[in-house]
Amino acid sequence: MKEVFLKKMILKNFKKVRDLTVNFTDKETFICGENGTCKTTMVDAFYWLLFGKDSTNRADTNFNIKTLGKDGKPILHLIHSVTGVLSVNGRDVELQRNYVEKWGSGVNADTLQNHATEFYLNGVKLKTKKEYDAEVAAIVPEDVFRMLTNPFFFPSMKATDQKAILMDMAGNVSDEEVAALKPEFLELLSNITGRSLEQYGKEIAAKKSAIKDELKGIPLRIDSVRDAMPEAEDWVALDAEISDKKKKLEGIDSQINDKSKQVEAVLNEKIKIQQNISAKKLKKSERENEIKQSINSSRNDAQTKISNLSYQVDSKSGEIERKNNEANNIQSEIEQLDKEMTVLRGQYQTVNEEELQYPDGAFVCPTCKRPLEVEDIQAKQEELQAQFNLGKANRLKEIQTKGKQKAAKKEDLVKKHSVIISDVANLENEKALLEQQVNELKANLPEQQNTQNAISSDKTWISLCNEIEDLENQLKVEAKPIDTTELKEAKGILSDAIDELNKRLGKRSTIERSEKVITDLEKKRDQNNQALSDLERIEFIAQDFQKAKDNKLMEKINGMFSLVSFSFISEKLNGNENITCVCTVDGVPFPDLNSAMKMNAGLDIINAICRSKGISAPIFIDNRESVNEIIPTVSQVINLVVSKHDSLMIRVFGDGMMEQYRKLYQT
């Protein structure tokens, strides 16, 4: 481990210090003095020497380095300097940073034009700041140095930065280690090859969303197909009826043939024509049904989308109303709390202004009714005053407690109210977007098509009509006059009946196509439900995997510390997951610890970082008087103690019982 110790520091004209030299011991140094004796200035000087910043990370352009005179103005023509001697693995390194004034020349000799910073290494002036920074970084990088020198620096960092540093110290837990815990983890790992668990989770979520969207539309599509589907009939009976009528028609034709042998050839041809006409009429009927089925499909699809989006708009409106009602209720609670706190303030003021009023006969002996002696009266007054003060204090404390409780409750309600108002704004935006989509769909909604016009303009249908007309015209060609009037009338009736039956029969193919569409949609619905279930199972396994990985990582992280423990807690903020890093001691969060425990927790963290980074550096502990005992450290400790000494003192020896101090002389 690289060991860095501060052996000596010399301040000249730095802030309030004109000239100060401090020699530090290797392990622990105590520097004492009243507030304002420049203890913190020493810390600022050390940070400025190394990095050009003070202990609060302000650059030297943002805090005053210069020494001020009695008039509060900077004393000119001074060199402001800090020199430090560091021991780095037993090798002494002397660093020096000077802040100097640049004056004009000639007629401008009395004009302060600028300032410059000078850098020295082991007494040798360096040419550039870059060279100096490189030498300092070689000893200890700035980001690491601040974590190693200030017990409160790491706990004050952002939770995400704390987590990143802890994970770097502990080393990551491989997915393969976690996968070995459960067979389903191994299966999961094989599926996410080449991707992170987070990326895979986003893919799963996107697939689930797409499936859910598709599932929402399937019921409406099924209903739409069913609404357009003709009613089913007894197809067996219908076929039988057609077959029966055709047989009767054949019988009539046979009779006509018997009566008209001479035109047998013509009649046979007409039979063929009639059959052709029937076939064409069947095709015509089927074509009509096809047109009716498809003519308004695009409009139906658009209306289905409008219905889905309108339902979502209504849902958002309901949620917004619920949220607004909740926000109003909370606001009413807040106003009521304000009224109650106002009443409590009045009560507090009233009680606080109360003074003791001696009751009648307070200073008369209850037995003999004689006035008490002067000393007895005084004792009685003191007793009554003490009782009065105690009662008054208890009542004031009770009012204060109630006030604090109500203030805390109000604060929680205000936060909750703010979250709800934010939710309402998001919902309003989502609703507006949905309404925009509905309006766009309505604006572009295909017009309702006239079925009859579509049929009348269909080329295939027109062609069939023309063909039927031509065939029917052929039938009108008369043969030799034969009295077959009745037979022809009967034949005509049968033919019309057969045509009507064939038209009804044409619905069967339409129904079969519709039923196939419905079957396919239902199959797709079942497949999507199964796919959704599979994805939810994978999602659960992924969540379980991440928890197992985090637990294993936390074991490694907390194994580095003797006092503190860390945990990564998942919080839900506005519907989004937020991972935060929490430091605790015996289950108590760091911010809730007392000063001594916070100090030791910070030192425990520094020890772990030193071991991880392989380097130790001086630790500055301000307000050391507030801590009786600190845990052992691998680093040098410089204690800054508030005492009654009116000038800076350094402890020569002693363990707290028998201590001796000598004055740190400065001018």
Residue 192 scores a pLDDT above 80 = no
Query: Are 167 and 530 a contacting pair, CB within 8 Å?
Result: no
pLDDT of residue 365: 75
Structure confidence at residue 412 (pLDDT): 92
The model's pLDDT over 367-405, given as tens digits with 9 standing for 90+, comes to 777 787 778 778 877 888 888 889 989 998 998 998 899
pLDDT tens digit string along 628-642?
A: 889 999 899 988 888
DSSP string for residues in 573-624: ETTEEEEEEEEEETTEEGGGS-HHHHHHHHHHHHHHHHHHHTEE--EEETTG
For residue 602, what pLDDT is reported?
93
638: enclosing H helix or E strand: strand 637-642
CA distance 15 to 42: 10
Residue 605: pLDDT band by 50, 70, 90 thresholds?
Answer: very high
Give the model's confidence band at 290: pLDDT under 50 very low, under 70 low, under 90 confident, else very high: confident
Q: What is the pLDDT of residues 78-135, one digit of tens each?
A: 899 999 999 999 999 999 999 998 888 877 878 888 889 999 999 999 999 999 999 9
Which residue reads 């208890």 in tokens? 394
Q: Which residues contact 331 (CB under 8 A, 6 or more apart)?
A: 417
- Helical (H) or strand (E) element with 80: strand 80-88
How sure is the predictor about 575, in pLDDT bands with cuts at 50, 70 and 90?
very low
Q: What is the residue-averaged pLDDT of the chain? A: 83
Question: What is the per-residue pLDDT across 398-444, written as a single tens digit (0 to 9) for each?
Answer: 989 988 998 898 889 899 999 989 998 998 998 899 889 989 888 88
The closest alpha carbon to 319, from 425, 390, 236, belongs to 425
Q: How many angstroms separate the CA atoms of 211 and 308, rounded?
A: 15
Is there a contact between 52 and 59 (Cβ–Cβ < 8 Å)?
A: yes
Distance CA 117, CA 101 (A): 9
204 has pLDDT over 90: no
- 267: pLDDT strictly greater than 90: no
Q: pLDDT confidence of 655, banded at 50, 70, 90?
A: low
Highest mean pLDDT: which of 174-178, 257-261, 509-513?
A: 509-513
Query: Which of 113-122, 485-494, 528-537 tops mean pLDDT?
Result: 113-122
